[in-house]
């Protein structure tokens, strides 16, 4: 019986490892070599950071759907993404000044997604909804400007502040407001907005995300008939 239990635990560990690797592999989409340069096509760390910012919260919600705990499997996904960011930045023309703060911001977004998933019955719907919400928040600052009518400065600043892409990219030390796809559509030359400070935004997002996750776990345990729930 002992050998059977050990074998089952080993099999479960391998399944969990495979699922976490599959979740981490989502980040590879943002590392596709789409940027043209003198040496040919290469990956752009800006696009990678933006993609990961959109994926972090939905992937956090998907942890529960896949039967994975935020620790250690969610942390492993974030670690893999951090390694990917450093690897892409090391071979790209665009530098990423503070990747650590960006990774912490991603971890906070993932923890927030995991927290929300524990407050609903359908984790798949939660993950899809978070993906749609993140995309909507990312497009909100620039959507009207594409037609030539950008938001008023105060509303454009608010939209940029609420975008997960702004948070992660600016925490990583990149100037998101001066990016070609944002500068003209959002009219950022009119704004007095200060970008997210990485040394505050990164750790702050992580603390808030972990606090939300801890609170969600406690609430779920208190509502469970058995007084416990998976964390």
How far apart CA 31 and CA 51 sit, in angstroms, is: 9
- Give me the helix-helix angle, 99-117 and 198-223, nearest 10°: 20
Q: For 54-75, how does the pLDDT look when each residue is reduced to its tens digit (9 = 90+)?
A: 999 999 999 988 989 999 999 9
How far apart CA 99 and CA 96 sit, in angstroms, is: 6
How far apart CA 58 and CA 109 sit, in angstroms, is: 9
Cis omega (within 30 of 0) on the bond before 72? Answer: yes
How far apart CA 44 and CA 179 sit, in angstroms, is: 13
Q: What is the pLDDT of residue 199?
A: 97
Annotated domain spans of the chain? 2-223
Measured from the Cβ of residue 147, the count of other Cβ atoms closer than 10 Å reads 8
Quick one: average pLDDT of 106-131? 95
* Phi, then psi, of 75 in degrees rounded to 5: -65, -35
Quick one: average pLDDT of 152-181? 95
Q: What is the pLDDT of residue 103?
A: 98
- Give me the helix-helix angle, 123-139 and 45-65, nearest 10°: 160
Q: What is the pLDDT of residue 38?
A: 55
- Partners of 36 in the β-ladder: 41
Q: For 7-49, how does the pLDDT look when each residue is reduced to its tens digit (9 = 90+)?
A: 778 788 888 889 999 999 999 999 998 766 555 677 999 999 9
| Spatial contact of 92 and 74, defined as CB atoms under 8 Å apart | no
Quick one: average pLDDT of 71-94? 93
Q: For 207-216, how does the pLDDT look when each residue is reduced to its tens digit (9 = 90+)?
A: 999 999 999 9
Of 70, 62, 84, 59, the residue nearest 172 (C-alpha): 84
């Amino acid at each position: 019986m002992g050998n059977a239990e050990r074998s089952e635990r080993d099999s479960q560990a391998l399944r969990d490892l495979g699922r976490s690797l599959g979740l981490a592999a989502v980040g590879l989409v943002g590392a596709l070599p789409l940027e043209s340069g003198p040496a040919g096509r290469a990956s752009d760390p800006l696009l990678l950071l933006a993609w990961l910012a959109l994926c972090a919260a939905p992937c956090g919600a998907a942890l529960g759907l896949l039967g994975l705990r935020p620790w250690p499997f969610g942390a492993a996904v974030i670690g893999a993404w951090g390694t990917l960011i450093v690897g892409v930045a090391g071979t790209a023309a665009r530098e990423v000044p503070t990747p650590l703060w960006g990774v912490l911001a991603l971890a906070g977004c993932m923890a927030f997604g995991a927290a929300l998933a524990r407050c609903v019955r359908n984790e798949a719907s939660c993950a899809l909804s978070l993906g749609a919400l993140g995309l909507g928040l990312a497009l909100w600052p620039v959507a009207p400007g594409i037609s030539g009518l950008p938001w008023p400065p105060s509303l454009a600043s608010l939209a940029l502040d609420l975008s997960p892409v702004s948070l992660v990219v600016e925490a990583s030390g990149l100037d998101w407001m001066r990016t070609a796809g944002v500068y003209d559509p959002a009219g950022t030359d009119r704004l007095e907005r200060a970008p997210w400070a990485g040394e505050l935004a990164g750790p702050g997002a992580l603390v808030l995300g972990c606090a939300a996750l801890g609170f969600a776990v406690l609430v779920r345990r208190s509502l469970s008939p058995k007084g416990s729930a998976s964390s």
